[in-house]
Structure 1
Amino acid sequence: MKNSVKYAVTGALAGAANGFFGAGGGLFLVPLLAAWTKLEERKAFATSVAVILPLSAVSAIVYWFRGGLDFMTAWPYLIGGAIGGIIAGRVFQKVNMLWLRRVFGLLILYGGVRAVLLL
């Protein structure tokens, strides 16, 4: 039961991040999956991607019903994102975890600095 609460809290944080910011669920999922479920980091990254897909779909549906989603604008990004996801999925197993952690950290840091400085 205790683990179920941890998992639900982790999912709720990821869902809230997705709903508020349009992305960012992995910011919560990756470290918490690794810490709370003891998943190996590579599996935590991959599991995060699997969880974020339905969370993103739910967020997109909510935005669509509220008139905040423009599918025509989103299509090119969706196609590019799918291609990038396929390439990254194939390369993922070959990337050293230390470098993957560093890049992940740098992306979070970059996003944080941009958000704070409003660049």
Structure 2
Amino acid sequence: MWKAGGVHGWTFELFLLGAGIVAGVIGTAGGITSLVAYPALLAVGIPPLTANITSTLALLGSGAGSALRAKPDLDGHSPTLRRWMPPIVLFSFGGAVLLVVTPGGVFDRVVPFLVLAGSVILLLQPAITRWQARRDSRLSPTAVRVAGAGVAAYNGYFGAGSGILMIALLLLTTEPRLFRANSLKNVILLAADIGPAVLFTLLGSVVWRAVWPLGVGALVGGLIGPSVARRVPSRVLRPAIAVCGVVLAAYLAGRAY
């Protein structure tokens, strides 16, 4: 049973409320909610695995807030959502089952490299798109399915950085505009996170005292984030997200190694 240790009074809740707001804005505008939320939970003394599970539940607020604001960016993408959501939801739930059944440390060692790869792909996406256009080539349907399944399973298993991986995949396959790809990611991953959240509630170790302040803050940040994403130029937002991804990859590598 986790205890708050040296954290007393409302300091714990206020700290996580603020962290949730920042995480919600960063996540819905750029795809790396866990850049703030996961380290914040570790900072108040919650163990890594429990922090991961608690973060998954709390950050549903961020997904809900961003999904409510995503409609203007989803025009014409109903077929995309119908095609992507079922397999992403299924494989994300499978990743959550894997976490509950075998919470080993091997996968954690791969996580930093996945986040770093997504950050590099996001940064280079315009050049990759131009290269594809010159060669008149696109990723094969099989490659897209395999990549999508991998991102979804990772989202259910650990989640930190899964948003940036999903944005990179959407940019390369479906939607070349960053703010619209970001909105698609927000809606798809909200649906994908519901199953793992239910599973973790039933079987996992959840610090409920941390869920509500982080979740409320994430909901507020999630409502603000899409407006930020629409107003900030892609030439600014893209490298900012990529830098955040590199920072998160370095942080996770430091913990894993």
- TM-score grouping bracket, smaller chain normalisation: 0.7 to 0.9
SS state at 1:118 partner: helix
* Counterpart contact for 1:13–1:25, Cα < 8 Å: no
Q: Does 1:45 align with 2:186?
A: no
CA distance in 2, matches of 1:79, 1:50: 18
What RMSD, in angstroms, separates the aligned Cα atoms of the two structures?
2.1
The question of 1:13 aligning with 2:142 is answered no
Residue-by-residue CA offset, 1:20-68 (whole Å, 9 max, x unaligned): 2234321221111111224322211111111111112222122222232
Structure 2 partner of 1:28: 165
Partner of residue 192, structure 2: 55
> Bigger CA drift: 66-75 or 55-64?
66-75
Is 1:84 the equivalent of 2:200?
Answer: no
TM-score, normalised by the number of residues in structure 2: 0.41
Amino acid at match of 2:162: G
Aligned length: 117
1:112 to 2:236 alignment: no
Per the alignment, residue 67 of structure 1 pairs with 204
Give the C-alpha shift of residue 76 in structure 1: 0.7
Unpaired segments ≥5 residues, structure 2: 1-139
C-alpha distance in 1 between matches for 2:235 and 2:154: 25
For 2:148 and 2:208, locate their aligned partners in 1 and report how far apart those are by CA, in whole Å.
26
Judged with a 3 Å threshold, the aligned counterparts in structure 2 of structure 1 residues 33 and 40 are, in CA distance, closer, same or farther, namely same
Q: Which runs of 4+ in 1 moved over 6 A?
A: none
Q: Secondary structure at the match of 1:69?
A: coil
TM (norm. structure 1) is: 0.82
- Greater helix share, structure number: 1
Cα 1:118–1:37 change in 2 (3 A) is same
Letter in 1 for 2:187: A
Distance across 2 between alignment mates of 1:24 and 1:55: 14
Structure 1 residue 16: Cα displacement: 1.8
1:96 Cα shift?
A: 0.8
Q: Which has the higher contact order (CA 8 A, sep 6+)?
A: 2
Equivalents in 1 of 2:184, 2:214: separation in Å?
22
Q: Percent identity?
A: 24
Q: CA deviation at 1:7?
A: 4.8
Q: Is the 8 A contact 2:148 2:169 kept in 1?
A: no
Q: Name the CA distance, whole Å, in 2 between partners of 1:9 and 1:19.
A: 16
C-alpha distance 23-113 of structure 1, shift in aligned 2 (>3 A): closer
Larger radius of gyration: 2
The unaligned stretches of length 5 or more in structure 1 are: none
